[in-house]
Structure 1
Amino acid sequence: MRVPVVVMRGGTSKGVFLKEENMPSDRLDWDEFLLDIMGSPDSRQIDGLGGANSLTSKVAIIKKSDFKDIDIDYTFAQVSIENQLVDFKGNCGNISSAVGPYAIEQGLVPAVEPITTVRIFNTNTQKVIIAEVEVENGHVKTDGLCSIPGVPGTGSPIYLSFTNAEGAVTGKLFPTGNATDIVHSSKGPINVSIVDVANPLVFVNAQDIGLKGTELPHQFTQEKLKELEEIRAIAAEMCQFASKEEATRKSPAVPKMTIIAPPRDYIDVTGIERKAEDMDCTIRMMSMQKPHQALAITGAICTTAGAFLKDTILSDLVNVKQEVVRLGHPAGIMETKVDIIAGNMTAIKVVRTARMILEGYVYTKKNYHVISELVYKLA
C-alpha cells in the first residue's frame, strides 16, 4: 500500500506522522502496520523509515478531536528496533512539540497570526498539552533564533505547557504510594523514587550505582547498562507494568531509568564545557535500554515536578530556589519553568523547536484494511 506520511523533527527526536484515518481500521493491526513502515525488527531498520535509534523510531498518530475545547487527539507510539513490539504506554514530549506545527500545516487547526495555540489531547496519558506556535503568512514559522541542546542551528520557538500531568500512565503521582522505595537488585539494595508526571520515571542517585552523573552516552559499559535495566525492570514490576523478568520485553519504554546527581562541571557531547553554577542538577536518562543522547521532554517535566515534591531523591539533590529549573544533560542544559499558584504547581513549560522534513508516501510490504481513500493498494 501507498500511505501518506510526514516526517518531522520535534525537539531532539524525529518521527513519522500519520493521520488516524490512514491507519488500519482494525486497531489490532496497528502494531504490525507500524513495524512494517518503520522497518522493525531490524537493528538498522534498513527496510523502513526508522533511523536505527530509539530517538528516531517514533510515530505520532493524529486526528481532529471530537472533545470540546480540544483541537487535536495525538497518540504516540515507540516502535522497538530489534523486537516485534510497539509501545503505546507513555508519551514523548519532544515529538509532542511537532504536533502543533503538523496540525496547522495539514489544515486541522486554523492558522492564526502571530501565535496559534493548539490544545492537544495525548491519548496515551489522557492529558492535555498546550502548544504555542509562531505563524507567519498563514504557515508555521520555522526560522528563528531559538536554539536547543542536541539540535544544530536555530529555529522558531514552540512553547509547550503540560498541565495536571500527574499520574499520566499509572494514574498515581507515586505509583507505589511512596516518595522513596528500596529496590533489591543483584548489586544490593538501592534507594529509588518512582514518580509519574507526564511519564513515569525511576530516579536513582548516581553515587548509589557507582557513577558521577556526568557520564556521556558512550561511557556507559554494557555491564552498567545491564545493572540499570535490572533496577528499571524491578521498578516496572512495582508499577505493575510487567514482571521484572518480562519488563524489558513487555514494557521497555516505561518507567524510564533516570540518574540524578548534584551540579558538576562536565564536557558535553558537542565539546562544550558546562559549569556547575549554570545548572541545578545533572541528569542522565535511558531510552529503550540505551543512554539518551540528550533529555526527553517528559523526563524534564517529571524531574522538575519531582524536585518540588517532598521526600523524593530529587528533593534532596536538586536545590530549587526559583521557578526555573536548569537540567544538565549530555547535550547541554535544558530549562523548564514552573507556574505556581497559591503554592501549587499548575503547569510546567518548556521551549522546543520543530520542523517538517518530508511529506510524501510510505510503501508497506503488505495490504491492510484502511478506510481513507487516500491510501492506495498496489496491484
Structure 2
Amino acid sequence: MIMRGGTSRGPFLRMSDLPSSQEAQAKILLSLMGSGHSLQIDGIGGGDPLTSKVAIVERSSDPEADVDYLFAQVDVLNHHVDFNPNCGNMLSAVGPYAIETGLVEPQEGTTLVRVRNLNTQRLIECHVPTPGRQVSYEGDTSISGVPGSSAGIMLGFLNVIGTKTGALLPTGQACDMIEGVAVSCLDAATPIVMLDAADLGLRGDEEPAELNDNRNALERLEIIRREAGRRMGLGDVSQGVLPKPVLLSAPRDSGSTLCTRYFVPHRCHKAIAVTGAIALASAVSVPGTIAHRIALDNKRISSGKLLAQVKLEHPSGYIDIDVEHRNNDFCDITRVSLIRTARKIMSGSIFYSLPATPRLDLLT
C-alpha cells in the first residue's frame, strides 16, 4: 500500500512479507524505491528524501502495543538504507494502515492504535477517525506542506526523552561550543543539534533551495553535526542521518515560538520532521539551550516557565505541538501531542529485482 503520512510518502509493507535479515530487507527496499538514480526512475521513490521512505508494520508481541512499526530511510542516490531514525510523518499513516489491513479492529467513531516504534522502542498513541467503523480520510484538517484538507489524526508520543542516547542532554550540557559555534545537543523523539542561524551568517528564513545551494554553510554544518554526534555518544555519524541539524532564528509571526530550518541531514527539509518538531518543542523549555535563548530573547517564553504549547515556523508554514510536563520539571515530559493527516493512495502488488548489486552499506 502506498500512503501519504503527514508531509512524507512511501510504501507500507508487512514485516511478514519480508525476509528476517535487515540486509536482505535493505536490498529489496533499494530495488523497490529505485535508488542509485536521482529520479529513482526504476522504482517508486520520488527523487527526494521525503518520498524515499518505507514503513514496515506487523502485529506486535508487546502487550502494550497493537502493532510494531519499523521505519527505513532509503537513500536516493546511494545504496544506503538507514533503519536508525524514526519518522513521525510516516507514522501518521501507520494507524490507518493497521486498520485497513486487519491488524487492528476498528471502533465506532475513533479507533486508538497503539504503535511500538522499533527504531526507538517507544510507544505512540494514534487516534484514527473511523466513523461507521471505517477509516475516514476526508475532513477539514489542513497541515502545512500538504495541499487541501483531510481527517485529523491525533498522535501522542510517550516517553520521548533519550530515544537514542538515553538522555535529554546527551553531552551533559545545554550548550556546547563546536568549531567556534554555540550549539545545543538534545534527544527527545530524535537526536538534534541546534544552532542560531546568525552564527553561520544566515537569516534563518531562507528558502530550502537557497540553503541547499550554499555549499560553504552545508559543509560547515556537516562538520558540526559529525562532532555533535560524537559528543552525544552516537559514534561516527558520517554515514548516518542522526543527529539532525536545525537552524533557529526569531519567529516572523507574532504567534509563533521559533523559526526553523531542519536538515535531513544534508538537505533542508521543505517543512519539518514530526520527531524534529517534538525535539524542538521540548528544547524550548530547557534553560540554556539555543531554542530557549531565542524564545526568551523574543519574549515567547518567560524565565522559569515551561511552555506547554509551541508553534514552529518552517518553510511550508507552521506546526503546533502540545508538551505535557510532570511536576513543572522540564526533564519530565509525559506526552507530546500533535495533529497530522494521512491518505491511502493505492493498494496492490509491487515488483522488485535483485541484480548484481553494488556494495551495500546497511545502517543499523
TM-score when normalising by structure 1: 0.87
Alignment of 1:49-88 (within 5 A): 49-88=44-83
Mapped pair 1:233 → 2:226: yes
Alignment of 1:351-366 (within 5 A): 351-366=339-354
Query: Is contact 2:92–2:340 with CA below 8 Å preserved after alignment?
Result: yes
The residue number in structure 1 matching 2:184 is 193
Structure 1, unaligned runs of 5 or more: 1-5, 265-275, 368-379
Structure 2, unaligned runs of 5 or more: 356-364
Superposed CA RMSD in Å reads: 1.4
* Cα separation, 1, equivalents of 2:219 and 2:169: 25
Alignment of 1:276-295 (within 5 A): 276-295=253-272
2:29 to 25, 29, 34: 34
Q: Deviations over 1:32-59 (max 9, x none)?
A: 1111111112211111111100000001
Query: Is contact 2:109–2:133 with CA below 8 Å preserved after alignment?
Result: no
The residue number in structure 1 matching 2:362 is none
The residue number in structure 1 matching 2:206 is 215
Alignment of 1:31-180 (within 5 A): 31-180=26-175
Mapped pair 1:342 → 2:337: no
Query: Is contact 1:116–1:132 with CA below 8 Å preserved after alignment?
Result: yes
Residue 284 of structure 1, CA deviation: 0.5
* Cα separation, 1, equivalents of 2:27 and 2:286: 40
* Cα separation, 2, equivalents of 1:229 and 1:239: 15
Query: Is contact 2:168–2:186 with CA below 8 Å preserved after alignment?
Result: yes
Structure 2 residue identity aligned to 1:76: F
Structure 2 residue identity aligned to 1:260: L
* Cα separation, 1, equivalents of 2:328 and 2:139: 35
Q: Deviations over 1:230-286 (max 9, x none)?
A: 22122222234343xxx33x21x110010111112xxxxxxxxxxx20211100001
Q: Deviations over 1:341-371 (max 9, x none)?
A: 332431110100001101111111139xxxx
Mapped pair 1:327 → 2:312: yes
Structure number with greater CO (CA < 8 Å, separation at least 6) is: 1
Q: Deviations over 1:180-204 (max 9, x none)?
A: 11112xxxx1111110100001000
Mapped pair 1:182 → 2:177: yes
Residue 174 of structure 1, CA deviation: 1.6
* Cα separation, 2, equivalents of 1:81 and 1:171: 30
Structure 2 residue identity aligned to 1:170: T
The residue number in structure 2 matching 1:376 is none
Instruction: Give the secondary structure class of the aligned counterpart of 1:301.
Output: helix
TM-score when normalising by structure 2: 0.91
Q: Identity percentage over the alignment?
A: 39
Query: Relative to total residues, which structure has the larger strand share, 1 or 2?
Result: 1
Query: Is contact 2:27–2:354 with CA below 8 Å preserved after alignment?
Result: no
